[in-house]
Amino acid sequence: MTLARVRALLVVVTMAALAASFVLWAILRDSQAKDDPAEQNCPQGAVPAATAVPEPKNMKLNVYNDTDQRGLAKRVAGQLKSRGFKIGKVGNDPDPDPVKGTALLRFGPDGLGGAHLLRAYFVDADSEPDTRRKGASIDIVLGQQFKQLSTPSEVNDGLRLLGDPSPPAGMC
């Protein structure tokens, strides 16, 4: 190898090393790659909530009946399962307080996005967020006004109308 080629190779290797060093430095100092902005702006005492809306296959639902209709929870759980949801517990509502509306969604911070999705399936459902609840599972309590699940096209329209999930009081 001639001296000119060695010198050119040395210049190319040096430039590549400088470029790699610059890229590494830029990645390490990137302010956009820091922690989740929701956690950074979370007021004291508030719990960070998962606002991403999951796919039905990634959600676990407990379906409870709070009506006089026998087998309603089992029937609705079957319909939800056929739409891709994972079903956990099915039965009568363990909470003695009656649900007078369409449905009641009980969830914790990790279930916020999923509860948002379920609002499109259960029109006019009430929410009962619990900042102490662990996990992403969601309880659906079928109330006295429940008639049927929304159709797939109604779900899509409902999601457009609902917009993005927003954390309730105590969550951020």
How high is the pLDDT of residue 55?
Answer: 98
pLDDT of residue 91: 98
pLDDT at residue 4 greater than cutoff 90: no
- Look up residue 150 and give its DSSP letter: P
Q: Tell the residue number behind the tokens 């948002």, with chain if given.
A: 116
Residue with more model confidence, 17 or 110: 110
The whole-number pLDDT of residue 37 equals 46
Average pLDDT, the chain: 91
Question: 18-73: per-residue pLDDT in tens?
Answer: 777 777 677 778 766 544 444 457 889 899 999 999 999 999 999 999 999 999 99
Please spell the DSSP secondary structure of 98-125, one letter per residue.
Answer: ---SSEEEEE-GGGHHHHHHHHHHSTT-
Tell me whether strands 60-65 and 86-92 are parallel, antiparallel or unpaired. parallel
Give the mean pLDDT of 147-155: 97
pLDDT value at 8 more than 90: no
In this predicted structure, the answer to whether residue 114 has a pLDDT above a threshold of 70 is yes
Structure tokens belonging to residue 164:
């993005």
pLDDT value of residue 32: 62
Which of the residue ranges 36-50, 85-99, 102-116, 129-143 would you say has the lowest mean pLDDT?
36-50
